[in-house]
Amino acid sequence: MEDFVLKKIISAEDISCKVKELAKTIKSDCNGGSLLFVGVLKGAWMFMADIVRYLDMPLEVSFIAVSSYKDGTSSTGVVRLLWDSDISMEGKNVYIIEDIIDSGLTLQHLKKLFSVRNPKSINICCLLDKPSRRVVDLEPDYTGFTIPDEFIVGYGLDYDNKFRNLKDIHKLKFLSRGK
Ligand code: IMP
Ligand code: MG
């Protein structure tokens, strides 16, 4: 791996406060019905595990696995479905739990995929948002932190499958690339 430095940009404490806040907002917005939380693997595994613990109400948890990053830090634009949710979405209020929205292609793809499964509603909750990178017209319903166009790792997010276990969120800077 190239030489790099990690710079902490969001602490574990700030993440924890934000996750609690998001859970509180989701809880107060939702008006009953069946709730299904679908985590997008792998990046959202930590976020999903944390947010559902603050949602003290009946809900179902499921996961979907997609791959959209085949060239390191830049999107190929191709979203591959690696694992599908095994829980029916019919008539349910579906919450897609995602680590980060960048180009928006992954979530656009998932929204289309889920909408033909007849859910009552589809809501998107992203811990992080990089709005300056968007190539499609899509905004999450719930956003934790809005960040600039920087490659970040930690709290579930990876570079080349590494750094997912870091408890804080860091900017990953490659020394040879100057960014
Ligand atoms: P999008 O389809 O371009 O919106 O990309 C979304 C996916 O790319 C996310 O689910 C992440 O897994 C990954 N991704 C985007 N930006 C970053 C980043 O800064 N660090 C790590 N993964 C990222
Ligand atoms: Mg992801």
Indicate which ligand has the atom closest to the C-alpha of 155: 1
102 is catalytic: yes
Distance from residue 37's CA to the centre of ligand 1 (Å): 19
49 CA to centre of own chain: 12
Best residue for ligand 1 mutational test, from 70, 100, 127 (most atoms within 8 Å of Cβ): 100
Position 71 scores a pLDDT of: 60
CATH of the domain at 106: 3.40.50.2020
Distance from residue 53's CA to the centre of ligand 1 (Å): 24
Vertex 51 angle, CA 100 and 149, to 5°: 15
Residue 170 lies inside a defined structural domain of this protein: no
Residue 4 lies inside a defined structural domain of this protein: no
Residue 102 lies inside a defined structural domain of this protein: yes
Residue 47 lies inside a defined structural domain of this protein: yes
- Total number of domains in the chain: 1
Task: Spell out the per-residue pLDDT of the chain, length 179, in tens.
Answer: 789 999 999 999 999 999 999 999 999 999 889 999 999 999 999 999 999 999 999 999 999 999 875 566 666 667 889 999 999 999 999 999 999 999 999 999 999 999 999 999 999 999 999 999 999 999 999 999 999 999 999 999 999 999 999 999 999 998 987 65
Sign of CA dihedral 133, 137, 140, 141: positive
Position 68 scores a pLDDT of: 75
Distance from residue 125's CA to the centre of ligand 2 (Å): 12
pTM of the model: 0.94
Sign of CA dihedral 56, 122, 48, 59: positive
Taking the CB of residue 82, how many other CB atoms lie within 10 A of it? 10
Position 56 scores a pLDDT of: 94
* Residue with CA nearest ligand 1 atom 5: 102
Beta strands in 11-92 (DSSP E): 35-41, 60-67, 80-83
Residue 72 lies inside a defined structural domain of this protein: yes
Residue 85 lies inside a defined structural domain of this protein: yes
Tokens of residue 96, six digits = 């897609």
Place of tokens 């948890």: 61
Residue 161 lies inside a defined structural domain of this protein: no
Task: Give the three-class secondary structure for 110.
Answer: helix
The domain of 54 spans: 13-150
Position 70 scores a pLDDT of: 57
Task: Choose the catalytic residue: 99, 102, 129, 168.
Answer: 102
Residue 7 lies inside a defined structural domain of this protein: no
